[in-house]
């Protein structure tokens, strides 16, 4: 029960994390899953890919299909709107963390 609740709470932070990396360089799903795992977030592809698709539909990410070893891999980069949202999200998160850190 607590795991599901924490998971819901952290989904917003995961989106911020995705925007952060997509601003720095093109990302793809398998890479993002590993990156999140390194930070203690274990989510399935069935959770991540709908998040990426939703972020693309909201205009936060651009998708580019690339042929990698004969297979199509979808790479995502932050749009201008995504970069702007990231700036605001960082400010809001910083304010919240200042209040709840102790």
What is the architecture of the domain spanning 2-100?
A: Orthogonal Bundle (1.10)
38-61, pLDDT tens digit by residue? 988 888 999 999 999 999 999 999
Contact 58, 42 (CB under 8 A): no
Question: What average pLDDT score do residues 73-81 get?
Answer: 98
* C-alpha–C-alpha distance, residues 22 and 43, integer Å: 18
Q: Per-residue pLDDT for 1 more than 90?
A: no
SS (H, E, C) 35-65: HHHHCCCCCCHHHHHHHHHHHHHCCCEEEEE
pTM: 0.86
Q: What angle do CA 86, 89, 95 make, to 5 degrees?
A: 145
pLDDT of residue 30: 96
Per the prediction, the chain carries an average pLDDT of: 92
What's the pLDDT band for 2 if we cut at 50, 70, 90? low
């Amino acid at each position: 029960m607590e795991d599901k609740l924490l998971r819901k709470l952290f989904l917003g932070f995961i989106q911020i994390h995705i925007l952060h990396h997509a601003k720095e360089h093109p990302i793809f799903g398998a890479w993002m899953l590993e990156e999140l795992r390194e930070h203690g977030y274990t989510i399935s592809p069935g959770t991540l890919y709908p998040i990426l698709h939703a972020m693309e539909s909201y205009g936060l990410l651009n998708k580019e299909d690339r042929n990698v070893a004969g297979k199509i891999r979808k790479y995502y980069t932050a749009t201008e709107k995504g970069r702007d949202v990231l700036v605001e999200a960082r400010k809001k998160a910083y304010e919240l963390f200042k209040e709840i850190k102790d």
